[in-house]
Every structure is written in structure tokens, then in C-alpha cells.
Structure 1
Amino acid sequence: MKLEEKLQILRKKNGYSQEQLADKLGIARQTISKWENGQAIPELNGLIALSKLYGIAIDRIVKDDDECNLPIYKGAEIDINEMISFLIYAKKNTYPINGNKVASSRTKSHDYSYSENGYKYLDTYLGGEKFSGSEAVWYLDKPIWSMNYAGRITGDFFDNDFLKEALLSVSADAPYRGPKIFVKGDYHYHCKVEGEFVWFQGYEEIFYLKEKIYECYFHGGVIS
């Protein structure tokens, strides 16, 4: 596999556009384009930055042998941007609208599932006012992404319909729970995330006026 092919596969496998990767590395988008077109080769500093960002050794990026190439090929069939598009659609068509509810996979669990074009999504949780659960995505029956979450209601004025409205506003740039901020009347939803889609952790909370009435922690990433 040529270096330019590896660079393109690694970028797409980790869910970055050329613009996003350039921003992460602090370089021009045109530089990324030249790398992937074979018109230029990353200097040492660039290779070090890519190695840290993708979590792989520089040898696996630059060497042209099967031992280094096979781990990069593995999972390259997964298009993360396509996965995110599916995930967003699945989220919006399950719990927030009480749609696609399925039989419990665990004793007294609440389960929602959605499938399309080889992808399958499952959201399963236990509890009510205090809850814990997980969301996962499979592609061709292979698990490729998962997120665990746990939360609780902490105030008297919690409105589950408001939470569902916030979750319906989930976007492709933050495909985890809801948006950074969602406001309706006296209710305020906030969501903070650290990391990227491939490895992240976050926290969401709801306020009624100035009182915090709900909180939830979540974390997850791409799995293989």
C-alpha cells in the first residue's frame, strides 16, 4: 500500500475531513491534500503528530509491508462519517420518539433498536429516576461503536419530554447525546464532551430556572 493511500484510509477511518485533520495538526488543508495525492511526503514532525493522533506507531504509517499494512486495512471498510449518519438517524427514531421499541434483552431493561443498510443500533437501559445503559452500533454483525451512560433525576421539576426534545437535536458534529445548549421556556439543557467520536467522554445536565434537576455521564468510542 502506498503512503498516500494509508494516509487517506487512516483519516477516513478516524472520521476526519481534510479540513478537520488540518485543523488538528495546525497546517493548511492543501498540505493534507498533497500528502494524499502523493505530491508531498509528511516531514518528521507531521508523522509524529499523525502517530499521536491516530494512536499507532510511525512504522505502521511509513513501512510498505504486510505486517504494517494489514492492521490499517482491517476496519478500513468502515466509513465513520457513514456510521455517524446512520447513528444520528437511529437515535432520532428510537428513544426520543418512543419508536422501534423491542423486547427486553435483559431482565426489565428498556430496549430500542434500528437497522438499515447493514448497520444495526441498539439502545438498552435499566432503571428510571436513576438509570444506566448503553448504545451500540454493529456493521454486518460486527460491533464497531459503543457508548455507556448513567444518570439520575435530581430535582422535582424534571420533564422527560424536554429531555427527549433535546436528544432529537443531536447533530453530526457531536453525535453523542444532545446539542451543547438547548433551551425551551424555563428549561436549559447543557452537554459537554471531551475527545473525538473514536474515543470520548461527556456530561449532560438540565436546569429548571437555576436549579439543576438532572445529570448524566457518558463515555465510549469506536471498538474493534
Structure 2
Amino acid sequence: MNMAEKLQLLRKNKGLSQEELADLIGVSRQAVGKWEAGKFYPDIDKLVQLGELYSISLDRLIKDTDDCNLRIEERDGEKEDIAGFLIRAKRACYAGHGEELDASRKCSHDLEYEEGELYYYDTYLGGERFGGEEAVWKGGVPIWCMNYCGRVTGEHFSGDFLKEALMAVPRDMPYRGPSLFQSGAYTYHCRTAGVFDWYQGYEEILYEGVKIYECYFHGGSII
């Protein structure tokens, strides 16, 4: 597999369009298109950014003899159903200003959502510094969970903007928000490594180009 092919597949595995990738690394969409067509190669600084974004070494990215063990994950019907349920649950709960339950622990914030035999629960502690867990049960059996921990790091943080970004959670990356989301002076970035069964990620919010919020998360299937 040559580098142009790997760049295209890595981008698709990440759930990014050419335009979204271009915005993330500071180039034009046309430049990304030319890289993936094999007409031009990225400069070394862009290769470094791509390697960090895709969690892959430059050596493996550049070598034509290394296919990087790449493949687009094919989810079975059950995983697809659970991913769709998870997105609806997220949009109905925190992201959608859902009503909180009575606290399950001292000072905790708790939200739930249910469809048939699928049940979702989100519980977290804190405010400007926070930590929590989301989980999904099927037929009373826990099958998936995610832990997260974040903090506000600067001025002008907007909880409404974060919720707006999380409402745009994509189906192929149903963990937090999309790879890129913008509104006014606010920009949201999210990147993940892994697949639905086992993954980790990081999200951040910038205000006029300055980072003001960050959150780390990780999770996967537990059956």
C-alpha cells in the first residue's frame, strides 16, 4: 500500500472528510486531495501532524511496504443498533439539556435514557473540573461503558456551546462530538484512536484560537 492510499484510508477510518482534515491541520482541501491522489506529498511538518492525528509513526506512514494493518471496521448489526441507540441517548440527556435524576451519590449529576431492552446511564461529579461514566445495558446486562475526565482551562467557556457540539455526535464515532465543530468564536475538536469495542480520545474547545477546555475519555465493550 503506497502512502497516498494509506492517507486516504486513515482519513476515512477517522471519519473525516477532506475538508475537515484540511481544517484540522491548516491546509486547503485541494492539498489533501492531491496527497491522496499521489500528485504531491505532505511537507515534513504536515506529516508529523498527520502521524499524531492518526497515532502512527512517520516510518510506517511513509513506507510503501507497510500497510499499517489498516482496514475499515465492519460492524455487525448489533453493534450498529447499539451505536445508534447511544447517539439518541446522548442527544436526549446531557447534550440535549435532559432533566437530571435524583443524585445516586453525594453531589452527583445523573441522567438516563431507555428504549426497549436498551438502557443508558450517565453520571458525573464536579463542574469546571469533572469526571464521570456513561454505560449501556441490554436486557439488564451491562455491555458498554466510557469514562471521561475534563476541565475548563481558560476564560469564555460556554456549556451551551459544548452541548451544541455534542449534539452533533457522528454515527461512525459515537463517543463525544464530531472531529470539528465551529460556532462564532468557538471551535471544538475531537480525536479518537481505536474502534467501538476499545478506544480512547481527547476533545478540546478553543475560543478565538486559544484552548479553554479539554476532556479525555476512553471505553469499549465489557462483554
TM-score scaled to structure 1, two decimals? 0.65
Equivalent-residue separation in structure 2 for 1:210 and 1:82 (angstroms): 37
Whether the 8 Å CA contact 1:100–1:114 is kept in 2: the answer is no
State how far apart, in whole Å, the 1-side matches of 2:206 and 2:82 are: 32
Give the aligned partner of residue 186 of structure 1: 185
Write the distance in 1 (CA, Å) between the matches of 2:130 and 2:93: 17
Task: Quote the offset at 1:189 in angstroms.
Answer: 0.1
Q: What whole-Å deviation, never above 9, does each CA across 1:89-114 have from its counterpart, x for those lacking one?
A: 00000001221421111111000000
Alpha-carbon distance in 2 for matches of 1:199, 1:83: 14
d(CA) in 1 for partners of 2:101, 2:135: 15
Q: What does residue range 66-77 of structure 1 map to in structure 2 within 5 Å?
A: none
1:199–1:222 CA contact under 8 A, matched in 2 = yes
Specify the alignment match of 1:67 in structure 2. Answer: none
Q: Which has the higher contact order (CA 8 A, sep 6+)?
A: 2
Structure 1 contact 110–126 (Cα < 8 Å) conserved: yes
Distance 1:100 1:154 in 2: 27
Matched, 1:168 2:153: no
What letter matches 1:206 in structure 2? I
Where does residue 111 of structure 1 map in the other structure? 110
Cα separation, 1, equivalents of 2:107 and 2:205: 26
Sequence identity, in percent?
Answer: 52
- Deviation at 1:117? 1.4
3-state SS, counterpart of residue 150 of structure 1: strand
Aligned length: 154
Within-5 A mapping of 1:22-61: none
Q: Which residue of the partner structure matches residue 149 of structure 2?
A: 150
Gaps of 5+ in 1: 1-19, 25-48, 54-75
- Which residue identity does 1:99 align to in structure 2? G
**Corresponding letter in the other structure for 1:212:** K
Q: Deviations over 1:171-213 (max 9, x none)?
A: 1100000000000011000000000000000000000012100
Q: How far apart in 1 are the matches of 2:113 and 2:99?
A: 6
* Separation in 2, partners of 1:113, 1:167: 16
Q: Report the secondary structure of 1:152's partner residue.
A: strand
Q: CA RMSD in A?
A: 2.1
